[in-house]
Amino acid sequence: MSEPRSTRSEIIGAVIAGLIVVAFSLLLLWHDPLVFWSDDYELSILPVFADVARSWSEGHLPLLSPYSWICSNLAGEFQYGTFSIFVNAAVFLIWKFPLAFPQQAAALSITHLFVLAAGAFLLARSRRISTSLSIFVSLIAALNGWIICWGATDWFGALGAFAWLPWAWWGVERALDRQRGRWRFLWPAPFVYLLVTGGFPYTVVMLAVLIAWLSIRSLVQSRSFLPILPMAFGIALGFGLSAPAWLAIFDYLHGSAREVQPSSAHWQWLVPPSALPGLILPCWTARWVDFSTRLIPHSAIELACGLVPLPALIAGLWTKHATRVAAHAANSPKAESGRLLWRIRWELGLLLLVLLLAMLPTAGMFRWSFRWLPFFHLILALCAAEALRDLAGQGRQRLIARPGLLAFILIVLIAVTMSILRAGGSHAFPLTWILLGIATVWALSEFGRRDAALRRPGQRGASFLPREWMPACVTFVALLVTYLCVPPNVGVPKYNLSQELTKSAPLDPERLYLSVYPPPEFNYRVEWKPAPIGQILRPGSTSMWAGLRFVNGYSPIRPAGIARRLNSQIHGELDPQIAAQMLEKEAGTEGELARMGVDGIIVSREFDFVPKPDSEWKLTFSNDEGRVYHRIGESLPRVRSVTSIDSRPHEGFAAATILRVNDSRNRIEMDVDVPSQGGPALLVFSRPFFHGYQARLNNQNLRVDSYRGLFPMVEVPAGTHAELILSYRPSWLMYGAALSAVSCVILLVGLLAALRNMRAMAL
């Protein structure tokens, strides 16, 4: 059933697969213009990418952001794909168009869904699966429940990385193919780079599991390590290209809140065995452990895979088993031919392993095991495609060779069970009846005259007959009606964030604000706050849209320093008790907030905190959302010379004159004049401290300290009259850039040599 292959037809097929997924996404957008616009996309992803686009427009690498302290280190946060050429190019181009927030989110997600579908198509075609079934695989890979309900609409980093997993798999298998010559190690390198830099550690672990599985399979089949070496070198090359990304997160995680997350997080969002009927009926409701470690009824929308894969796989395995038994009974040679189970035994083993991982608790910095589900769906789609390919060569008169009929039976059985156990939830009707109707049409199509009998052997175009395309069509329609009947946002919060957030008013871009607000997911979601919110509070990282300087920021990692001091949570809210203490005792001229450079306080209406002393602060704005206080006088300078500091209580410092301050993202330049009489001067910088800052005075390197891990400090010698440059050049960036450059040179040399070899062979 495999089809003739050519490079041109493969590219065209991949593009068509991607365009089908784009059309599917546009149908979802037509139904709900806000479908790709929820939760983290609103508070984190989109405002940060707006700042990334601004950074590139200014000619700066977006390592740091000046508009948040807690989410300042964009490279270390990892999920923003700082070192991914593809992510940055997509962001830069999309932000050139005058799109509203939900439209920008949709454009970014749909771009990566296109890439994911194209890669899954090529992966299937590399296994000599027909075009129609390869498109079937691409639909499941790009449109399964987890990708749509979490990756494409909430956790963009998951989609940004997983979009390249099928490509990496395709490249790795090419590197294992001995027929592709000595340069085959080049295939996986660029895709491994794009996967690692895409922004999701879980996908990197998926890649590691895939590599281990392919290595073991190759070792068992060839009984030699030699075929593995090109693959290993190509993967190492990809990790070398992406070195700055993974070195950054290793450095950033050290001492962070993520490193010491509570053990309860490892038991949240495991796939319960009782949810598995959701592979057929996604409205099936079971009890899952949510973000608060509570068992709640939850529809198995993450398991949605288009109705076809499980019945197809069961039908294929059962058909081969029955054929083998009958052949043995008749002493037929067919007993040893075409054994599907033997042919896909490795894929089935990987499928069961990944499903088990999705059900087990996590460990270390990882949490929420259901994040393995997109990998599970991809493997399941490949296994189902293999089964459908085998079934296409069977006589359709056998009932066990009809996956459509089996799908109909399974829906009926699960629906009856669902009714008895009351596990249908609020979305069982009309989804169950619609899927039952789809399965009925599919089953009836299997009882018609065999299409192959209508054509002569070898006649082209057989793969474009309706029956051959039935699995892809059923998958497309089943997934579409699933998301039209079951809300894809699976209960995560949505916020009404106005486009006015791109404007700074009524806040001052020259001031550094500390915003005190309750957890947004419990207080500001549209169910309770339907009116636009955030213009005053700027929750999460939304301050980045207007270029406002905030201490707050969205950070799952919550780095050591300011996040620890204020006990900030993921969505940027601060510990209320610590915030109250800071406003009561540390808001004066000599307090910690002044040393940080905070000269603006925002307090939500849910709190009655007021910064003290009253002589230092004045109320400048108030509305139903909150109150804005400004420190009396001009905004505090971003670089200040202090004569004393409580972290060094027994030392005094000279007062330096600071002129011509040029404050940019990754460095700050100034002219410093320190009197020759007296001691050195101490300069403090109003920006968050990270290991990696370097200070240079003419040709002399100065030591960079920190104030309790909060902000950088530099001691300048007496008698200095020179330019001082404080720049962010961490060791991980230097070593990572060097390793990436070396890997890039090796890749380019290898490509040139491979092209020369191809040209010589052509001649």
Per-residue pLDDT tens digits for 77-86: 999 999 999 9
Q: Are 629 and 599 in contact (CB under 8 A)?
A: no
Q: Are 242 and 196 in contact (CB under 8 A)?
A: yes
Average pLDDT for 143-171: 96
User: Cβ–Cβ contacts within 10 Å for residue 364, how many?
Assistant: 11
Q: Please give the Cα distance from 263 to 366 (Å, whole number).
A: 11
Q: Are 338 and 324 in contact (CB under 8 A)?
A: no
Q: What is the mean pLDDT of the chain?
A: 90
Domain topology for 639-729: Chondroitinase Ac; Chain A, domain 3 (2.60.220)
Residue 102: closest CA among 157, 33, 22, 155: 33
Give the Å distances, CA to CA, from 595 to 52, 618, 642, 655, 734.
28, 19, 9, 15, 31
What is the tens place of the pLDDT at every residue in 409-454?
999 999 999 999 998 888 888 999 999 999 999 999 888 655 443 3
- R_g of the chain, CA atoms, integer Å: 29
What's the pLDDT score for residue 178? Answer: 83
What's the pLDDT score for residue 327? Answer: 47
User: Is the pLDDT reported for residue 314 higher than 80?
Assistant: yes
Average pLDDT for 495-516: 95
Is the C-alpha dihedral spanning 732, 735, 739, 745 positive or negative? positive
Q: Please give the Cα distance from 447 to 436 (Å, whole number).
A: 17
DSSP assignment string, 432-501: HHHHHHHHHHHHHHTTS--GGGGS-TT-TTGGGSHHHHHHHHHHHHHHHHHHHHS-TTTT-----B-GGG
Average pLDDT for 219-240: 92
Average pLDDT for 523-536: 92
Q: Are 685 and 662 in contact (CB under 8 A)?
A: no
Residue whose tokens read 């070898």: 458
Give the Å distances, CA to CA, from 271 to 350, 417, 491.
17, 20, 17
What's the pLDDT score for residue 99? Answer: 95
What is the tens place of the pLDDT at every residue in 187-209?
999 999 999 999 999 999 999 99
End-to-end CA distance of the chain: 34
Average pLDDT for 284-295: 92
Strand partners, 671: 659, 723
Predicted structure pTM score:
0.93
How remote is the C-alpha of 752 from its chain's centroid? 33
Give the pLDDT band of residue 304 (cuts 50, 70, 90): very high
**Can the peptide bond before residue 613 be classed as cis, meaning omega within 30 degrees of 0?**
yes
Is the C-alpha dihedral spanning 425, 427, 433, 436 positive or negative? negative
Upper half-sphere CA count for residue 209 (Cβ side, 13 Å)? 22
Torsion, CA 750, CA 753, CA 759, CA 763, rounded to 10: -140
At 315, is the secondary structure helix, strand, or coil?
A: helix
112's CB contacts (< 8 A; 6+ apart) are 90, 152, 156, 159, 160, 163
Average pLDDT for 357-362: 93
Q: Residue 380 has which token pair?
A: 């399941």
Burial class (CB in 10 A: 0-12, 13-18, 19+), 176: buried
Q: Please give the Cα distance from 427 to 285 (Å, whole number).
A: 9
User: Is the pLDDT reported for residue 336 higher than 80?
Assistant: no
User: Is the pLDDT reported for residue 397 higher than 70?
Assistant: no
Compute the C-alpha angle 239/242/245, nearest 5°. 125
What is the tens place of the pLDDT at every residue in 542-558?
999 999 999 999 999 88
189's CB contacts (< 8 A; 6+ apart) are 171, 234, 235, 237, 238, 241, 743, 747
577's CB contacts (< 8 A; 6+ apart) are none
What's the pLDDT score for residue 560? Answer: 83
Q: Please give the Cα distance from 304 to 140 (Å, whole number).
A: 9
Q: Please give the Cα distance from 164 to 162 (Å, whole number).
A: 5
User: Cβ–Cβ contacts within 10 Å for residue 649, how many?
Assistant: 7
What's the pLDDT score for residue 325? Answer: 46
List the domain boundaries for the chain. Answer: 274-494, 499-631, 639-729
What is the tens place of the pLDDT at every residue in 48-60?
999 999 999 999 9
Q: Residue 196 has which token pair?
A: 């690692």
What is the tens place of the pLDDT at every residue in 583-629?
999 999 999 999 999 999 999 999 999 999 999 999 999 999 999 99
What's the pLDDT score for residue 681? Answer: 94
